[in-house]
Amino acid sequence: MVDVLPLVDARLRTALGEPDARAAVTFLGTDRVEVLRFQEGDIVRYATLGMSAQPMSDPAAMLADPVAGPRAELVLSVRAGLAETDKALRPLAVLAASPQVEGVVVAPGASLDVGEPLWPGAPFTSVLVAEPGGLVEDLELDAPLDPVRFLPLLPMTPNEAAWKRVHGAQALQERWLTNGTDLRDPSRRSVPLE
């Protein structure tokens, strides 16, 4: 078996530079998940490292395949200095552990909810998983392993999350685009949903 985490770490460093901080969280019965922080100008990015160690498997499958299946890491980008976003490390680790803990497959268009603000005072308790490939390119692995995809997370207010459940991820993203929503603003208000 290939240890993919050193390769993932190297890909993150190539795309985002050297992390200026990292924290590790271990949940009972799961592998360790690290969250790395990268600062670039007024943007701070948090990337998980550990979620891709095991492939995600269909929760309906009788046995999890130890080799085949999608692999991913999560990336959250926010404006620095406007909120205590470093407190998002634990919620991000919880989201990254969800495939192991809950048997979910995290994919673009999905909603992930931590049930509490992503950081103190945040108007967001959930995120929309966006399409990969823009910020950090997929990491190709030798067959039969699936590539590691770096999935951007877009924070959603409770109203946006409810609206997305009815209208879909694409409709919400179009609403954000139409209204010129700054998705990196850690204290932004909900987009108009009327």
Q: What pLDDT is recorded for position 1?
A: 56
Per-residue pLDDT of 20-79, as tens digits, reads 999 888 877 778 899 999 999 999 999 999 999 989 886 666 666 667 789 999 999 999
CB within 8 Å of 47: residues ≥ 6 apart: 12, 16, 19, 35, 36, 38, 73, 74, 75, 76, 136, 150
Helix (H) or strand (E) holding 111: strand 111-113
pLDDT of residue 63: 63
Take residue 20 and report the two structure tokens written for it.
């200026």
3-state class of 131 per DSSP?
coil
pLDDT of res. 103: 82
Please, what's the b/e burial string for 17-50 (b: 16 or more CB within 10 A of its CB; e: otherwise)?
Answer: eebeeeeebeeeebeebbbbbbeeeeebbbbbbb
